[in-house]
Structure 1
Amino acid sequence: MLAIRLPAEVESRLEALAQATGRTKTFYAREAILEHLDDLEDLYLSEQRLIEVRAGRSKTYSLEEVEHKLGLAD
């Protein structure tokens, strides 16, 4: 269960969309969260990896190095 407070303008827009389409406000809130959750998780992970690389605790590899290691190089 999740309860969120929205600004009045956003609530009005959401209500209008729900009424116009016959869907619920919950449906659209769920869709918006699911749509952006993967992106937010990816952003968080990439920020953590960047911190690791800058601190010298993680190594990066070029595409050529990866291809060579996997036997995919020409």
Structure 2
Amino acid sequence: MLAIRLTPDIEARLNRLTQETGRTKTALAREAILEHLDDLEDYYLAEARARKNRKTIALTDVERELGLAD
């Protein structure tokens, strides 16, 4: 079970869409979530992995590797 709070403008848009399409709010919300879940997983899981495995490289080392050192 999922309960979410929507801003009044989003709620109004959703209500209009349900009236125009005959679909339920639940069906529309489910479709929207499924449409974007893959992208959210990719982004947030990559971000979490990057934070977990973060290693730093000194700027001077990067510049030297790229041939930009003075």
Q: Deviations over 1:2-54 (max 9, x none)?
A: 111101111011010011001001111111111111111101222234342x4
RMSD over aligned Cα atoms: 1.6
Q: For residue 28 of structure 2, what is the aligned residue in structure 1?
A: 28
Q: TM-score, normalised by structure 2?
A: 0.67
Aligned to 1:69: none
TM-score (norm 1): 0.64
Tell me the matched-pair count: 55
Q: Show structure 1 runs of 4+ deviating over 4 A.
A: none
The one-letter code matched in structure 1 to 2:55 is A
Q: In 2, Cα distance between the equivalents of 1:48 and 1:7?
A: 28
